[in-house]
Homo-oligomer: A and B are copies of this chain.
Protein backbone atom coordinates (compact mmCIF):
# COMPACT_ATOMS: atom_id res chain seq x y z
CA UNK A 1 0.00 0.00 0.00
CA UNK A 2 3.08 2.19 0.55
CA UNK A 3 1.32 4.42 3.07
CA UNK A 4 4.62 5.80 4.35
CA UNK A 5 5.16 7.24 0.88
CA UNK A 6 1.99 9.32 1.19
CA UNK A 7 2.71 10.32 4.79
CA UNK A 8 6.04 11.73 3.58
CA UNK A 9 4.51 13.37 0.50
CA UNK A 10 1.89 14.97 2.73
CA UNK A 11 4.47 16.53 5.00
CA UNK A 12 6.71 17.66 2.13
CA UNK A 13 3.63 19.01 0.36
CA UNK A 14 2.99 21.45 3.23
CA UNK A 15 6.41 23.03 3.01
CA UNK A 16 10.02 22.05 2.24
CA UNK A 17 11.32 19.90 5.07
CA UNK A 18 14.38 17.81 6.00
CA UNK A 19 14.44 14.08 6.74
CA UNK A 20 15.37 14.92 10.31
CA UNK A 21 12.30 17.07 10.82
CA UNK A 22 10.08 14.43 9.24
CA UNK A 23 11.43 11.90 11.71
CA UNK A 24 10.74 14.24 14.61
CA UNK A 25 7.18 14.63 13.41
CA UNK A 26 6.74 10.85 13.49
CA UNK A 27 8.39 10.38 16.86
CA UNK A 28 7.24 13.28 18.99
CA UNK A 29 4.63 15.46 17.31
CA UNK A 30 0.93 15.19 16.50
CA UNK A 31 1.55 12.66 13.72
CA UNK A 32 2.80 10.11 16.24
CA UNK A 33 -0.86 9.64 17.18
CA UNK A 34 -1.68 7.83 13.94
CA UNK A 35 1.55 7.08 12.06
CA UNK A 36 5.08 6.20 12.94
CA UNK A 37 8.43 5.55 11.26
CA UNK A 38 12.04 5.55 12.45
CA UNK A 39 14.66 7.65 10.67
CA UNK A 40 16.14 4.42 9.31
CA UNK A 41 12.93 3.93 7.35
CA UNK A 42 12.44 7.59 6.44
CA UNK A 43 15.81 8.22 4.74
CA UNK A 44 15.63 5.30 2.29
CA UNK A 45 12.02 6.16 1.43
CA UNK A 46 13.05 9.77 0.69
CA UNK A 47 15.69 8.46 -1.67
CA UNK A 48 13.06 6.36 -3.39
CA UNK A 49 10.66 9.29 -3.78
CA UNK A 50 13.54 11.24 -5.29
CA UNK A 51 14.14 8.41 -7.79
CA UNK A 52 10.46 8.47 -8.67
CA UNK A 53 10.72 12.24 -9.16
CA UNK A 54 7.91 12.94 -6.72
CA UNK A 55 10.18 15.21 -4.69
CA UNK A 56 13.31 17.25 -5.33
CA UNK A 57 16.16 18.11 -3.01
CA UNK A 58 18.23 21.18 -2.19
CA UNK A 59 21.43 21.14 -0.15
CA UNK A 60 21.63 23.71 2.62
CA UNK A 61 24.83 24.61 4.45
CA UNK A 62 24.14 25.16 8.11
CA UNK A 63 26.80 27.27 9.85
CA UNK A 64 30.39 26.28 9.05
CA UNK A 65 30.04 22.99 7.23
CA UNK A 66 27.03 21.07 8.45
CA UNK A 67 24.78 20.04 5.60
CA UNK A 68 21.09 19.38 5.52
CA UNK A 69 18.80 18.35 2.71
CA UNK A 70 15.60 20.26 2.09
CA UNK A 71 13.01 18.23 0.22
CA UNK A 72 10.35 19.90 -1.91
CA UNK A 73 7.39 18.26 -3.64
CA UNK A 74 7.27 18.24 -7.45
CA UNK A 75 4.07 18.82 -9.47
CA UNK A 76 4.01 15.07 -10.17
CA UNK A 77 4.32 14.34 -6.45
CA UNK A 78 1.61 16.82 -5.58
CA UNK A 79 -0.71 15.24 -8.11
CA UNK A 80 -0.14 11.73 -6.77
CA UNK A 81 -0.64 12.90 -3.21
CA UNK A 82 -3.93 14.66 -3.89
CA UNK A 83 -5.18 11.62 -5.81
CA UNK A 84 -4.31 9.39 -2.85
CA UNK A 85 -6.07 11.73 -0.42
CA UNK A 86 -9.47 11.20 -1.99
CA UNK A 87 -9.07 7.43 -2.35
CA UNK A 88 -11.59 5.35 -0.41
CA UNK A 89 -10.06 2.28 1.18
CA UNK A 90 -11.59 -0.75 2.92
CA UNK A 91 -11.40 -0.79 6.71
CA UNK A 92 -8.25 -2.92 6.96
CA UNK A 93 -7.31 -5.19 9.83
CA UNK A 94 -8.03 -4.18 13.39
CA UNK A 95 -4.90 -2.84 15.09
CA UNK A 96 -3.00 -5.28 17.24
CA UNK A 97 -3.11 -4.75 20.99
CA UNK A 98 -0.95 -6.81 23.35
CA UNK A 99 -2.94 -5.90 26.44
CA UNK A 100 -6.19 -7.08 24.87
CA UNK A 101 -4.37 -10.30 23.98
CA UNK A 102 -3.41 -10.76 27.63
CA UNK A 103 -6.97 -9.98 28.69
CA UNK A 104 -8.24 -12.66 26.31
CA UNK A 105 -6.14 -15.23 28.15
CA UNK A 106 -6.91 -14.13 31.73
CA UNK A 107 -8.21 -17.62 32.50
CA UNK A 108 -4.56 -18.48 33.13
CA UNK A 109 -3.68 -15.37 35.12
CA UNK A 110 -4.39 -14.81 38.80
CA UNK A 111 -6.98 -12.21 39.69
CA UNK A 112 -4.41 -10.12 41.58
CA UNK A 113 -2.00 -10.13 38.62
CA UNK A 114 -4.73 -8.96 36.29
CA UNK A 115 -5.77 -6.26 38.71
CA UNK A 116 -2.17 -5.02 38.80
CA UNK A 117 -2.14 -5.03 34.98
CA UNK A 118 -5.33 -2.98 34.86
CA UNK A 119 -3.99 -0.34 37.23
CA UNK A 120 -0.72 -0.16 35.33
CA UNK A 121 -2.60 0.34 32.06
CA UNK A 122 -4.85 2.94 33.64
CA UNK A 123 -1.91 4.97 34.82
CA UNK A 124 -0.18 4.82 31.44
CA UNK A 125 -3.28 5.70 29.42
CA UNK A 126 -4.22 8.45 31.86
CA UNK A 127 -0.91 10.24 31.53
CA UNK A 128 -1.07 9.91 27.76
CA UNK A 129 -4.60 11.31 27.77
CA UNK A 130 -3.56 14.22 29.98
CA UNK A 131 -0.73 15.21 27.68
CA UNK A 132 -3.05 15.00 24.68
CA UNK A 133 -5.66 17.11 26.40
CA UNK A 134 -3.03 19.71 27.15
CA UNK A 135 -2.23 19.96 23.43
CA UNK A 136 -5.91 20.21 22.66
CA UNK A 137 -6.38 23.24 24.93
CA UNK A 138 -4.39 25.22 22.34
CA UNK A 139 -7.68 25.26 20.43
CA UNK A 140 -9.63 26.18 23.55
CA UNK A 141 -13.21 26.10 22.27
CA UNK A 142 -12.31 27.61 18.94
CA UNK A 143 -12.85 24.94 16.30
CA UNK A 144 -10.57 25.74 13.32
CA UNK A 145 -12.06 26.30 9.89
CA UNK A 146 -12.05 23.37 7.47
CA UNK A 147 -9.30 23.68 4.89
CA UNK A 148 -6.68 24.96 7.30
CA UNK A 149 -3.70 23.03 8.66
CA UNK A 150 -5.15 23.68 12.11
CA UNK A 151 -8.31 21.77 11.29
CA UNK A 152 -6.26 18.62 10.68
CA UNK A 153 -4.32 19.11 13.90
CA UNK A 154 -7.52 19.65 15.86
CA UNK A 155 -9.40 16.70 14.37
CA UNK A 156 -6.67 14.12 14.94
CA UNK A 157 -5.90 15.42 18.45
CA UNK A 158 -9.56 15.20 19.35
CA UNK A 159 -9.62 11.68 17.97
CA UNK A 160 -6.57 10.73 20.00
CA UNK A 161 -8.11 12.04 23.23
CA UNK A 162 -11.36 10.20 22.51
CA UNK A 163 -9.45 7.00 21.82
CA UNK A 164 -7.68 7.25 25.17
CA UNK A 165 -10.95 8.09 26.91
CA UNK A 166 -12.56 5.02 25.46
CA UNK A 167 -9.62 2.80 26.38
CA UNK A 168 -9.70 4.10 29.96
CA UNK A 169 -13.47 3.56 30.16
CA UNK A 170 -12.91 -0.02 29.00
CA UNK A 171 -10.24 -0.60 31.66
CA UNK A 172 -12.70 0.60 34.32
CA UNK A 173 -15.35 -1.76 32.94
CA UNK A 174 -12.86 -4.60 33.29
CA UNK A 175 -12.13 -3.55 36.86
CA UNK A 176 -15.87 -3.54 37.59
CA UNK A 177 -16.25 -6.95 36.02
CA UNK A 178 -13.58 -8.52 38.20
CA UNK A 179 -14.80 -6.82 41.38
CA UNK A 180 -17.86 -9.09 41.48
CA UNK A 181 -15.64 -12.18 41.17
Could you list which residues of chain A lie within 8 angstroms of chain B, going by C-beta atoms? 1, 3, 6-7, 10, 13-14, 30-36, 81-82, 85-86, 88-111, 113-114, 116-117, 120, 124-125, 128, 143, 145-149, 151-156, 158-160, 162-163, 165-167, 169-170, 173-174, 177-178, 180-181
From B96, B146, B180, give the contact of A114 (CB < 8 A). Answer: B146
The answer on a CB contact under 8 Å between B107 and A3 is no
Query: Which has the most chain B C-beta neighbours within 10 Å: A86, A116, A120?
Result: A86
Q: Which residues of B contact A125 (CB under 8 A)?
A: 91
Which residue in B35, B94, B111, B147 is a CB contact (below 8 Å) of A107? Answer: B147
With A34-B96, A107-B147, A155-B177 given, can you name 11 additional A-B contacts, CB distance below 8 Å? A10-B108, A30-B104, A32-B93, A35-B97, A35-B100, A86-B113, A103-B152, A104-B153, A106-B151, A151-B181, A162-B166
